[in-house]
Amino acid sequence: MKTLIRFITTNAAGISEHSDKLIDTDVISIGRATDQTLHLKDRRVRLQHAEIRSEKGEFTISTSALAGVTVNGRSQREARLVVGDVIEVGANILRVIDATSEADFAISFELSREASSDDLAAGWTSTPSGIGGYSKRRLSWMLVAVVAAFGLLIPAMSLLHPGIASIMRGSALLPDDGLWLAGPVHSAHSATSTDCRNCHVSLFRRVPDAACAECHTAARHVTSTGHEVLGETRCASCHLEHNEPPELIKRHQGLCADCHSQLPDDVPLQNAEDFLDAHPDFRVSLLVPAAAANGSTEWHIEHNPLVDSLTAERSNLKFNHRVHLDEAGVVSPDGRRVLECSECHQAETGGARMQPISMDEHCVGCHTLSFDADDPSRRVPHGDVAGVLQALVEYYSARLLGSDPDAVEQRVRRPGQALSRADRDRAAAEARVQALTVAEDLFERRACVNCHEVSSTGDDTMPWKVEPVRLTTSFFPHANFSHAAHDTEVTNCDSCHNASASESSTDVLIPGIDSCRDCHGSGIARRNNASQAPSTCIMCHSFHFEAKGPYR
C-alpha cells in the first residue's frame, strides 16, 4: 500500500512545519528499533512496538505490548483506523488524515508538547572506563566466561550421567540443563519430561519421528491402505513443544489455508481459506433409494450442493412439519395436542447428532394403527405388510371361532356341536375376506398411505407394497457439529431449520452458510463484528479423512 507520512515539527518561533514522505510498504512498523518505518526515540516504547496493516481496504493497528497503544484516548491491543483517529505511542502522536490522490493511507506524526526530555533517548549513554582497576575489555571477557560457565559448561555436566542430572536438577543453587529449554514442557508430556533424552536422542539434532513413535501412534495420519497422509512431514512441524502458550497442536487456520486456498485441478475439493468470505457453500450427504435387481431397495449416498434446487431428501416418507408444528396443535386420540421439536428430535449424549426417530416411540401417540372401533386397544404391527395381514386374519378368525354367541354360534356352528372341517374352512375364508377389506382401508385410505408410498402388487398373497423408509442421520459426515453447543436462550430449532414453514418431507432443512455466518465469522478475530465468534477451520473439520486419499 502507498502511505503518506506527514512529519510535523515546531520551529524556534513556535510555528508548526511539516514535510511529507511517500512510502510503498505492506506494513507500517512502529518502534524504537532503527529498522522501523516510524523510528520513535522514546524509552517507554518497545523495539518493535506496533504495526499498521491493510486488509481489503480496511486499516488496522495492532501491538503485542501489554500496555497496548492509545487510540482516541482508549488503550487497545488492536483497533480499526478511520480518518480522524488519534494514536498515542509514548510521547508520540499519530493522526489518521485524508489521503491524497497518490496515497492509499495517510498519517501525521509529531511529538507531544508535554513530552519530557527524560523520556526521550537522545543518544547512547556512556559507560565508565573501568571498574576496580579492570578495563572494559577485561570485564567483558570475565562476564563472557561467567555466562559460558553457568549457561553451558555446568548444565552440560547433566549429560554425563543420569545421577548427576538428578542432583543438579534438585539443587536450587546449581544451574541445570533446564536453562536450555526454549519454553515449558506441555502437561501431556509431564511423565516423560524428567529426562530430556526421551525425546532429544541426539545432541544438537532435531527430535526424530521415531522418538515420538515410542509413545504415540500415527494412526490418524495413515490411511487403511498404509499410505502416509503427510508424506515426509515431521511430527514436530505441527506438534510444537516448548511454546507459550503451550499448544501441542497447531490450530491456526493458516495451516489448512496454505494448501486448501489453491488446490490443484485434479483434487475433488473446492478452495477454502476463511469461513467468513472464502469458503464454498455447504454440500450435504443424502441417502438416495434405488431399485435392486432382486426387487429390493438399495440405498447410496449422494453429496450435493445445499443451494441446488434439485437437492431433496428422498426418504420415501410423507411428512408435513408445518401441520405438526401448528400453534393450534394436532388432533390426537386425547384431543388437541401442541407438539415441540424436542418430542421427536432428541440429541445423542454429547449433542453431536440426533437419535433415530421410530414409529413405536415417537408417532404412536397420535397414529395408533387401531382397526376395530369396537376394540380400539387392538392394533396392527408397524413396518411389516405380511405381519399386518397375518394379525388381521388371526383376529377375525378368533372372533369367528371363539365363544362370542353373536359372532360364532349363530354363524358357524350350532350350540353343543363341534366344528366340522367344512365349518372351519368356511370360517377361515370369511376371516380372510374381512381381513383384506380392513387391510385395504388401512393401506390405501386412512393409515399407511398418509405417511408411506403404497402401491398395489396385484398379488393375492401380498396385495400391497410399502416403500422402505430411511432417514438421513448425518448430513455433514466430514464436519464436527454439536447441537448442545448451539442450545442457547437466544436460539431455537426454528431459527436455523425453519421447519414450521416446511410442508414436504423432501425439504432439506439444513441451514446454509449465510445462516451460520450470522454468528460465526472469520478465523481472524479483528475482522469480525461483536456478534461473530472467531471460527477457524479446525472448529468444524478434523484432520484428513481416508476417503480423500494421501496428501500430495
d(CA 91, CA 111): 6
Q: Which fold has domain 2-111?
A: Tumour Suppressor Smad4 (2.60.200)
Q: What's residue 410's pLDDT?
A: 40
CA 209-215-221 angle, to 5 degrees, is 55
92 pLDDT more than 60: yes
Whole-number Cα distances in Å, 204 to 153, 209, 337: 15, 16, 74
* pLDDT confidence bin for 124, thresholds 50/70/90: very low
* pLDDT confidence bin for 141, thresholds 50/70/90: very high
The whole-number average pLDDT for the span 420-445 is 87
* Percentage of residues of the chain with pLDDT beyond 90: 30
What secondary structure letter does DSSP report for 266?
Answer: T
Strand, coil or helix: 387: helix
Q: What's residue 185's pLDDT?
A: 83
In contact, 87 and 95? CB cutoff 8 Å: yes
Instruction: Give residue-wise pLDDT tens across range 238-294.
Output: 888 887 777 787 778 888 888 899 888 888 888 999 999 999 999 999 999 998 888
12 pLDDT more than 50: yes
The whole-number average pLDDT for the span 466-489 is 87
DSSP per-residue string spanning 76-139? ESEEEE-TT-EEEETTEEEEEE---TT-SEEEEEEE-TT--TTTS--SPPP--SEETTEEHHHH
Q: Check residues 505 and 125 and name the one with the higher pLDDT.
A: 505
Quick one: which H or E segment has residue 297? strand 297-305
**Grid cell for residue 414:** 350350532
CA 199-200-202 angle, to 5 degrees, is 140
Whole-number Cα distances in Å, 18 to 9, 21, 36, 458: 6, 10, 20, 98
125 pLDDT more than 50: no
443 pLDDT more than 80: yes
* pLDDT confidence bin for 121, thresholds 50/70/90: low
Instruction: Give residue-wise pLDDT tens across range 396-428.
Output: 888 877 645 444 434 455 555 566 777 778 888
| pTM for this model (two decimals) | 0.60
337 pLDDT more than 60: yes
In DSSP terms, 300 is beta-bridged to 288
The chain-wide mean pLDDT, for the chain, equals: 84
d(CA 515, CA 495): 9
d(CA 91, CA 324): 68
* Percentage of residues of the chain with pLDDT beyond 70: 89
* pLDDT confidence bin for 329, thresholds 50/70/90: very high
Q: Which distant-in-sequence residues (6+ apart) come within 8 Å of 430 by Cβ?
A: 396, 400
In DSSP terms, 284 is beta-bridged to 304
The whole-number average pLDDT for the span 202-212 is 86
Quick one: which H or E segment has residue 391? helix 385-401
Instruction: Give residue-wise pLDDT tens across range 151-197.
Output: 888 888 877 777 787 788 778 788 887 777 777 888 888 787 777 78
Q: In which residue ranges of the chain is CATH 2.60.200.20 found?
A: 2-111
d(CA 296, CA 293): 7
Q: What's residue 406's pLDDT?
A: 47
Q: What's residue 468's pLDDT?
A: 93
